[in-house]
Every structure is written in structure tokens, then in C-alpha cells.
Amino acid sequence: MTDPEPTVGRRVTIKDVARAAGVGVVSVSRALNDQPGVSNETRERIRETARSLGYRPNRHARFLKLSSSRSIALMMKGIDNPFFQQMLETVENAARERDYLLSVIKVPHYADEVDEAIMLVDEEAVAGLIFLGGNFTHQPGDLARLQVPFVLSTIGQLEGIDPGSYSSVAVDDFAESRRATQYLLGLGHRRIALLGVGLRDSSVGMLRRRGYQAALADAGSPSDDGLVRGLDLNGRSPYSFEYGYQLMTRLLAERPDVTGIFAVADVIAIGALKAALDHGLRVPQDLSIVGFDGIQVGQYVHPSLTTLVQPALEIAELTCQILFDSISGAPARQELLQGELRLGGTAGPPRRGDLVGPR
């Protein structure tokens, strides 16, 4: 299917290309690496020349510094979640800028990501690991079994684990969930459901549930376990449009008195919005919805989604920065970032009859 390895006399070098094209080697490098500083015309001529000479930048170009230890692995729990997919691009950029190749590993929702990583890690195979997403509930001993630098990204802070033993980057899940819930409370809502987290969830889910509960408590609003809605998933991912649709459909059947929804992920919020509209409700007149994440498509549903935006690019960049610092020997670091409430059209005051009177 492909040509056999050509019989090589002397390998064509970048200097040969420069000489034949009548330019300097810097221009050749710029032209072949899509960097600015050469005109389109010159770029085209250099590429033509390189092609005609059969120039292959093997063993010389940036990528060919790659040995297998020039790989980092992205362990994705939630590879089907647009929020994490959005971060993939930034992580790939960061890896490439540093001449690392990015390997992507899907971690099934039900699987133990540390076990998965340990099966992968051979000091010769990857130089570092990023754990992206998922409910991360591990003991100190688990993490110590990882023999390469790693960063937990968007996984929240670990409780009861020595901060010197791991690095992490996440939004402040507790504070931002409280803020999202406070926003609904401020609009006048009292019967606010939490979608996507059950009462027994741990890790990120737990932090977001606590933020929701704290906001209700601050407002003197009674906590109502019937409005906290997770779902038995049988190992399927909790972060999906379909899951949001199902949760909302069931909630509307069982608790038609609800006026506000805080969904712990935009995919859940978008699924819930669709269920509400299919059910004949007007959003936000009959029901308000606030999401969490800030995925792109949230601005293209109708009405646009009101949501707590995680600084995804910043999280991805900081994750990579810390990982590469660790590979160079820097100590562990935890970073907790702020989010931002983005107002769309899915949240407004509750129906008049639902406004809270004197209690």
C-alpha cells in the first residue's frame, strides 16, 4: 500500500531545500512549519521545492525528537462530554508546543482511572498523565502507585490526602454551585431542583450538591431531598443530553411544583430544556434553568442557556503547565479557579403564583 523505504543515498536536508529554492534555512523552516515571516508565494515555492527533492524532515524536525517518552497521556472520563472534548484541543496544543505527542485514553465511567493508568504507565511509555473528569475517589496509597508525574484536572480537591502528593486544577465547585443556586434564589425561586447529582454522590458531584445546599440554607429555604435528582445509571455516563432529558421528564411528572432547575452540567441542562419545551412549558416563564460548564452549544439552543461558565481554556492550559513543570521536577501544586455566570435566556422570575409571599 505504501512505498517501501527508499534506498537512501544522502538524506535530503533543509539546507538542500534552501539552496534549491534560493532562500535561507530559516525561511524553509518557517514555510514548512506554518510560521509567519514568509510570504505566501515564497511559502508555496519552498514547499514545491521540498516536495520535488523528496525532502522528509525525519529525525530532524520537531516531531522527530519524539521517542516514546515524549508522550503524555490524557485519561478522559467523559470522552463523550462536549465540555471535556473542548479541552482536548487546548491540551493537544500545549503538548505539541513542547514537542510532546498526546495519547488519549478513554476511561469508562465505571472504571478505576488509577488502575487504568497503572496498566498504561511504563516509564518508557509516557512521561506524564492528565486525569480529566470523573468522580475521583482514591486513597493516598492509590496515587503513590503512579510512577510518573500527573495532574488531576476538573476533578476537584481531594479530601484527606497530603497536598504534596498530587497536583490539581479545578474550578471552585462548591462556591460556583452556590453562586448558581443563589442566582435562582435571587430571582425569587424557592422550589429549586438539583439535576444530575444524587444524595450519595462523592467527589465533584458532592461538592456541587453541597454548594446548592449551602445556598438554600443561607436563604433560609428548606432543603427538599425530593428535588435532588440523580439517576441509577448502570455504568453509563451521567453527563449526557439524554440523561438530562430523562431526569427532567421524571421530575415534571413527580414534582410539577418546581420552578427552578440547577443542572450540574450543561449537557444535562440542555436535555432538561428540551424535555421542558417538549412538555409544553415556556422557558423561562414557566420554568427557569441554569447550567454549569459553558459549552459552546449552550449559546445556540433557544433560549440561550444561562450557565456557570468554567474557565475551560485556563484550566486546560494550567493543567499542562503544571504537568510539564512536574516533569521538570517542580513540586505538587493545587489550583482552584473562579467561574463566571453567563446570562442567557433560560432563567427569569418564577410564575407570579409561585412568588414567595410572607412566610
Footprint of its own copies on residues 115-174 (CB under 8 A)?
A: 115, 118-123, 125, 141-142, 144-150, 164-167
**By CB under 8 A, residue 10 contacts its own copies:** no
Of the candidate spans 168-176, 187-195, 251-259, 299-307, the one that interacts with its own copies by CB under 8 A turns out to be 299-307
Residues 65-84 contacting its own copies, CB under 8 A: 66-68, 71, 73, 79-80, 82
Q: Return the SS3 of 238.
A: coil
**152: β partners:** 131, 168
**By CB under 8 A, residue 34 contacts its own copies:** yes
Minimum CB separation from its own copies for residue 287, in Å? 14
327 Ramachandran zone, left/alpha/beta (phi>0; psi -120 to 50): alpha
Q: Which is nearer to its own copies, 118 or 341 (CB)?
A: 118
Joined together, the cell numbers standing for residue 115 give 488502575
**By CB under 8 A, residue 297 contacts its own copies:** yes
DSSP state of 120: H
Q: Are 309 and 339 in contact (CB under 8 A)?
A: yes
Residues 208-247 contacting its own copies, CB under 8 A: 241, 245
Minimum CB separation from its own copies for residue 171, in Å? 21
Residue 284, preceding peptide bond in cis (omega within 30° of 0): yes
Q: Which is nearer to its own copies, 47 or 191 (CB)?
A: 47
Minimum CB separation from its own copies for residue 317, in Å? 15
Residues 336-355 contacting its own copies, CB under 8 A: none
Q: Which is nearer to its own copies, 57 or 350 (CB)?
A: 57
Residues 176-215 contacting its own copies, CB under 8 A: none
220 Ramachandran zone, left/alpha/beta (phi>0; psi -120 to 50): left
Q: Which is nearer to its own copies, 280 or 353 (CB)?
A: 280
Residue 303, preceding peptide bond in cis (omega within 30° of 0): yes
Of the candidate spans 16-24, 50-58, 225-233, 286-294, the one that interacts with its own copies by CB under 8 A turns out to be 50-58
Applying CB under 8 A, which of residues 102, 161, 187, 219 lies at the interface with its own copies? 102
**By CB under 8 A, residue 12 contacts its own copies:** no
Applying CB under 8 A, which of residues 12, 101, 187, 231 lies at the interface with its own copies? 101
Total chain residues near its own copies (CB under 8 A): 82
Q: Which is nearer to its own copies, 141 or 353 (CB)?
A: 141
Q: Measure the CA–CA gap between 62 and 60, rounded to whole angstroms.
A: 7
Query: What are the angstrom distances between the C-alpha of 204 and each of 49, 176, 245, 325, 330?
Result: 54, 12, 21, 25, 26
Q: Among residues 353, 239, 235, 255, which one has the least CA distance to residue 291?
A: 239
Q: What is the CA radius of gyration of the chain?
A: 25
Applying CB under 8 A, which of residues 19, 42, 56, 311 lies at the interface with its own copies? 56
For the chain, helix (H) and strand (E) counts, in that order, are 11, 12
CA 45 to chain centre: 41
Q: Which is nearer to its own copies, 80 or 354 (CB)?
A: 80
Q: Are 13 and 60 in contact (CB under 8 A)?
A: yes
